[in-house]
Each structure stands twice: as C-alpha cells, then as structure tokens.
Amino acid sequence: MLKKISMFTMFFACVILAGCSLNNSSANSEDEGVIRIGYQKNGPLIILKSLGTLEERLDSLGYTVEWNEFQAGPALVEALNAGSIDFGRTGNSPTIFAQAADTPFVTVAAGRSKYEGSGILVPEDSEIKTAKDLKGKKISFAKGSSSHYLLVKALENAGLSYTDIELVYLSPGDARIAFEQGQTDAMVVWDPYTASTEINMNATLLMNGEGLTTDRDFFIANEKFAEEHADLIKILEEEIVKSSDWANTNHDALVEMLAPILNIDDASIELAVERRIYGVEKINEEIIQEQQEIADAFFRLDIIPKEINVRDVMDKQ
C-alpha cells in the first residue's frame, strides 16, 4: 500500500508543477460573471473557442469566458481541484486519477468514441508485427493519459503483463523525438500525433483502439460550480454540440482552423479529422461501465492507490 501511495503522490506532484504553467493571469480569481474553462489545443473545446459562439451567447447573460490552456489532461484536472478553473475537457484516464485523488468534480457529458485515431505505432521496418512482439520493448506513452489504458489493454489481450515491457513516460512531443531517433521501439499516442507520425515518418499503426478502448472525451466541472450553475452547464453542453456539428460538416474549414494552432501539417490534420466524429453523449450505463473497467485495471496494476466507483462522479441528469 505504501508503494501505491508513493507512486501516486509522485505522479500528482508532477501534475501540480505542470499545472503551474497555465496561461491564466488570475488563476485564483472568483470574480462573479467569469466562467473559467480549461482546454487543450488538440481537444474539441479549441473548436468552440475558435468559433467564438460561446462568448456571444454568454455575453447577453452578463458572463465572460476566460480560457486557460493546458498541455495535458492531468494538469487540467489538478487546476479543477485547486479551483483555478470551473469547467474543462479531458480524456478518459485523467478523470480516474482525479477521482482517486478526491478531486471535487462531476462528469457532465462524454464525447463520441475516437478509437480510430488512438493507437500503437512502430517504425516502418520494425520487427514488431503483433502485440505479442512488444515483449521486452521500450514503449513510450504519457502517464495517466488515454494512451496509458490503451497500452494496458493491448498487453492484456496479447497475454502479456505490464512488467513485460520497458515503460517510457513521455509527452507526445518528446515521444515523437525519441521514436524518430530510435530511442524507443514503439509509441502509444492519439490523433493528430498518430496521423502526423504515420504520414511524416511512414510509421506503421500496429493497432488502433478498436476492441480495446473507446477513448472518449469527458467534459467535467468543479463540483461546486456544477451545483450552483446548472443553467450554465446546460449552455456549455449546447454550444459544444453546435461546434461539434459544425466540425463534422466543415472538414476543410476545420483543417484550416486546426493546422496553424497545432503547428501540424494539413495532411495530418485532415487524416485525423476524417477518422473522427465530434459530438456529445449523455452519461449512460455503458459509459459508466467503460470508465469502471479503466479504474479497476489501474487499481489492479497499482497505478492508482485505491478502488473507486466512477458512478460517484457521473452526472446522469
């Protein structure tokens, strides 16, 4: 048990440090009329931010929006825990870590599955042909991310254990460099980084998330904010749905929007966009079960320090 707590504490210490880099000049502000939203450049909220429709709608109600950018989901949920943001989007795994750390939040909606753009990549001439061949290899992924769980499931399905590989914890950018330099044998990542590595390095997508993970987005809110502002949560959901519908029907414009923001070539963004459907789903039993399986796997592997019931943070209203 001491080992579990030690590993978890070290992980969240890193998260807290990472969260200090958010571009929010008033991180601890509790100004009335300001909604503080955490987003990542590669997530659906960047589309909503870029369209500007949320600001237009909230302005008429006397609210302004403060956008805070994060490099990764774990830092975003830590900011939610600290009260620095009110609402945000993250992947499936960071919410598990957040709940295990007793972060006061609720999950208000889920995104559509995006498993096609998440996967395990190997070099074009790699001897790795199946998941079984990953045994003994150096594999990079972002700890606590959706890729973390994808790797866990891929290994289990191949009859391998978590200790059968050499774990290399790297952010997508650093993982790409290590992969390109031959310092790792495989990398686990999500779009558009998957697409960029496929196109620009001729990497082979050994497998995507099909049958392993749905790799959903989750839209989460500070517990107190959600209790006090159900009307605003509803507006946020409605505007995310509208921006998602726009994204699904305007691929050319979406590529033009995202390529300069992400600093990734148009071809890679186009591939990522074509194999994804943006959207929002209400929390249901299937989604709750998906998340519970992740939580149970992480506890079993000593990745989180305690068992959790994900239903406790799922808003089914």
Question: 193 and 223: one domain?
Answer: no
- Where is pLDDT greater, at 32 or 44? 44
User: At 72, is the pLDDT very low, low, confident or very high (cuts 50, 70, 90)?
Assistant: confident
Q: What is the CATH number of the domain that holds 158?
A: 3.40.190.10
- Where is pLDDT greater, at 41 or 183? 183
Q: Which residues are within 8 A (CB) of 119 and not within 5 positions of it... i.e. 6 or more apart?
A: 150, 188, 189, 194, 205, 206, 207, 208, 209
Question: 107 and 165: one domain?
Answer: no
Question: 157 and 176: one domain?
Answer: yes
Round to whole Å and give the CA distance between 178 and 11. Answer: 21
The total number of structural domains that make up the chain: 2
Instruction: Give the number of other CB atoms < 10 A from CB of residue 30.
Output: 9
Average pLDDT of the residues in 8-32: 43
Collapsing DSSP to helix, strand or coil, 61 comes out as: coil
Question: 235 and 104: one domain?
Answer: yes
Question: 121 and 148: one domain?
Answer: yes
Domain that holds residue 241: 2-112+216-313
Q: Which residues are within 8 A (CB) of 46 and not within 5 positions of it... i.e. 6 or more apart?
A: 39, 40, 258, 261
Question: 176 and 36: one domain?
Answer: no
Average pLDDT of the residues in 96-125: 95
Where does a domain end: 208, 238, 264? 208
Question: 126 and 76: one domain?
Answer: no
DSSP-derived secondary structure letter, 265? -
Checking if the pLDDT of 11 tops 90, the result is no
User: At 21, is the pLDDT very low, low, confident or very high (cuts 50, 70, 90)?
Assistant: very low
Checking if the pLDDT of 57 tops 90, the result is yes
* Contact in structure between 149 and 155 (CB atoms under 8 Å): no
The backbone torsions φ and ψ at residue 280, rounded to the nearest 5 degrees and listed phi first, read -130, 140
Q: What pLDDT score was predicted for residue 143?
A: 86
pTM equals 0.86
DSSP-derived secondary structure letter, 145? S
